[in-house]
Amino acid sequence: MAKTIRLTMAQAVVHFLKNQMTVVGGQKVPIFGGVWAIFGHGNVAGMGEALYQVRDELPTYRAHNEQGMAHAAIAYAKASFRQRFMAVTTSIGPGALNMVTAAGVAHVNRLPVLFLPGDVFANRAPDPVLQQIESFQDGTLTANDAFRPVTRYFDRITRPEQIISALRRAMQVMTDPVDCGPVCLSLCQDVQAEAFDYPESFFEEKVWSFRRPQPDENELAAAIATLKASTKPVIISGGGTLYSLATKVLTAFAEKHGIPVVVTQAGKSSIDERHPLAMGSVGVTGTSAANALTEEADVIVAVGTRLQDFTTGSWAIFKDPGVKFIGINTASFDAAKHNALTVVADAKVTLEAMSAALGDWSAPKALRDKATAVKAEWMKAADKAMAATNIALPSDAHVIGATARQHSGENTVLLCASGGLPGELHKLWPATSPGSYHMEYGFSCMGYEIAGGLGVKMARPDADVVVMLGDGSYMMMNSELSTSVMLGKKITVVLLDNRGFGCINRLQMATGGANFNNLLKDAHHEVMPDIDFRKHAESMGAVAIKAASIAELEQALKDTRDNGRTTVIVIDTDPLITTDEGGHWWDVAVPEVSPRESVNKAREAYVKALASQSIG
């Protein structure tokens, strides 16, 4: 008869989690980097007591905001290239629902995180319990059902023995190259405290490895034949290249076969941007070099990318009417987009197999010559955009240049998520090593930045983590500044204050709209806000400085580089200036009917642009 151990369901959860291992860099390590927890009546007695018992083996971290701690967990997984991840537990009701936005971030970006929200009583005896949402037509619905569309796997645990199959399924999902994403196990609060005789085998140590699906020989042959017939191929590298640990193979492939590489937001840093064939960012926020080559490409090799509209210029960037796509992806869902020839397999092994089969084949020298020329032009434009300046309100690009001059070494990780900065950083930030550019642009979630920076620092404690964000995003979520100070995890925050939502204000103007409700001065107000971000950050325990110029910003960055405490440097910027060079049209629908002439003109331009859009 199998040996058993009597534990509560919550105890079973934490004992299982602490025994899940993986191998990173040849070293066996726990696959869970820890558990984030904000306790409430739905998890403090069950999960709280269980986590206390294993606190030396499975560390528990306290945050100030449930969404913030979930963002930190997501950033930890991204910075770990999905090889390690974290769990997050909350009470029921608002605590749980605060994590739903973060679950959307993880789902869109294909990143693993284990959500463990408390839930109502399975026995329903005290219904309605505090914070319980009651459905008038379905007695089984709770607030946690909101996780269903934004997780890869959802389960509600209403009996203690159900956690056995649920946790095993959760691990399979979070370590699967195709299904990888967030998991929600909704833990009924009474069941957390109920005991069961669990088999000891359930808690045996397990070392998880990550599968590398091999390419189908027919799919591979078709892709190779298509590539050999091309004269202007371009590789679009996405986040999957990084998660496959395929960066060296990608560079070798590009070099051997003379194919330029352009990168998505998630794929930036998958090739050293100093490499002659690295053309930088592609699409709406693309460099002029990358977009010039992509527009003329006759074959696109899409590696590990889901081909989001910013990457494809809303499917209008590809000008060759006969352009063919080769989709290399572990997920057929992504590989098959835009009627691509699919190679449903791991990026690293596929590129290796393709290179071997291609032999000495190389794209025409004319393609490399053009790549060299257009990149030289772009670098001049980029240097000009980021040059030091004495103007009173510098641009985002000026701030990026100053930051890069002080913080762009091999060990730097630049993190951002929303506003106008992602577009400028995608074009301009000099990413040189894998993971040195950390952009959450799948969901572009305001509020991810500071919490995400903390998560990166926890995953890479020796890294120089630089967070760039605007005042709008800072106001949405800044509480984990205090957490970073509390945990002794130093991040450097560069806060650009343009007094509103400058990025969306520019889009409003570009679509013919009036300046309305985006910049603070254009919003309904009795008194204009005058927020002292330096004092606010200081009150959270950070070292805080207000820079009055680009020169002062550079000096502050230099002076604080080696201090041990989270540092916030604030600088006022212009909300309207952007880098003119590069970029591409983006499909944002303009009203067909308006009494305003500016909107009507924008509509005419919009209709004209639609003619370049490819559908199918």
Question: 294 and 230 in one domain?
Answer: yes
Residue where a domain terminates, one of 320, 342, 377 = 377
Domain for residue 615, yes or no? no
pLDDT of residue 368: 98
CB-based contacts of 583, cutoff 8 Å, min separation 6: 284, 285, 286, 291, 423, 427
CA nearest to 89, candidates 72, 108, 75, 70:
70
Question: 73 and 132 in one domain?
Answer: yes
Domain for residue 547, yes or no? yes
Say if CB 422 and CB 439 are below 8 A apart.
yes
Quick one: tokens of 133? 């949402």
pLDDT digits (tens, 9 = 90+) for 120-150: 999 999 999 999 999 999 999 999 999 999 9
Residues in the chain: 616
In this prediction the pTM is 0.97
CA–CA dist 338, 326 (Å, integer): 10
Question: 430 and 346 in one domain?
Answer: no
Domain for residue 189, yes or no? yes
Dihedral, CA atoms, 158, 162, 168, 171, nearest 10 degrees? 10
Say if CB 186 and CB 147 are below 8 A apart.
yes
Domain for residue 184, yes or no? yes
Residue where a domain terminates, one of 377, 409, 427 = 377
CA–CA dist 269, 175 (Å, integer): 23
- What percentage of residues in the chain have a pLDDT greater than 70? 100
Taking 80 as the threshold, does the pLDDT of residue 248 lie above it? yes
Residue where a domain terminates, one of 158, 185, 208 = 208
Looking up tokens 């926020």 gives: 285
Question: 296 and 158 in one domain?
Answer: no
Can you give the residue range of the structural domain that contains 362?
217-377
Sequence-ordered alpha helix ranges (H) in 197-331: 217-228, 239-243, 247-257, 288-296, 309-312
Domain for residue 584, yes or no? no
CATH code, domain carrying 439 = 3.40.50.970
CA–CA dist 209, 346 (Å, integer): 14
Question: 122 and 27 in one domain?
Answer: yes
Q: In what order do the strands lie in the sheet with 412-416?
A: 437-439, 412-416, 464-470, 492-497, 567-572, 543-547
pLDDT of residue 80: 98
- What percentage of residues in the chain have a pLDDT greater than 90? 97
What is the band of 614 on the pLDDT scale with cuts at 50, 70, 90? Answer: confident
Taking 70 as the threshold, does the pLDDT of residue 320 lie above it? yes
372-396 average pLDDT score: 97
pLDDT of residue 616: 66
CA nearest to 484, candidates 37, 56, 63, 34:
63
What is the band of 536 on the pLDDT scale with cuts at 50, 70, 90? Answer: very high
Question: 465 and 370 in one domain?
Answer: no
Burial of 140 (0-12, 13-18, 19+ CB in 10 A): exposed
Question: 197 and 163 in one domain?
Answer: yes
Taking 70 as the threshold, does the pLDDT of residue 465 lie above it? yes
Burial of 138 (0-12, 13-18, 19+ CB in 10 A): exposed
Radius of gyration of the chain (CA): 25
Residues β-bridged to residue 342 = 327
Question: 75 and 201 in one domain?
Answer: yes
Looking up tokens 């639609």 gives: 610
Question: 316 and 225 in one domain?
Answer: yes
CATH code, domain carrying 247 = 3.40.50.1220
149-160 average pLDDT score: 98
Question: 404 and 368 in one domain?
Answer: no
Domain for residue 586, yes or no? no
Domain count, the chain: 3
pLDDT digits (tens, 9 = 90+) for 345-358: 999 999 999 999 99
pLDDT of residue 463: 97
Domain for residue 404, yes or no? yes
Question: 452 and 314 in one domain?
Answer: no
Domain for residue 585, yes or no? no
pLDDT of residue 410: 85
What is the band of 520 on the pLDDT scale with cuts at 50, 70, 90? Answer: confident
Question: 331 and 438 in one domain?
Answer: no
Taking 90 as the threshold, does the pLDDT of residue 494 lie above it? yes
C-alpha angle with apex 244: 243 to 246, nearest 5 degrees? 115
77-88 average pLDDT score: 98
CB-based contacts of 613, cutoff 8 Å, min separation 6: 314, 315, 316, 587
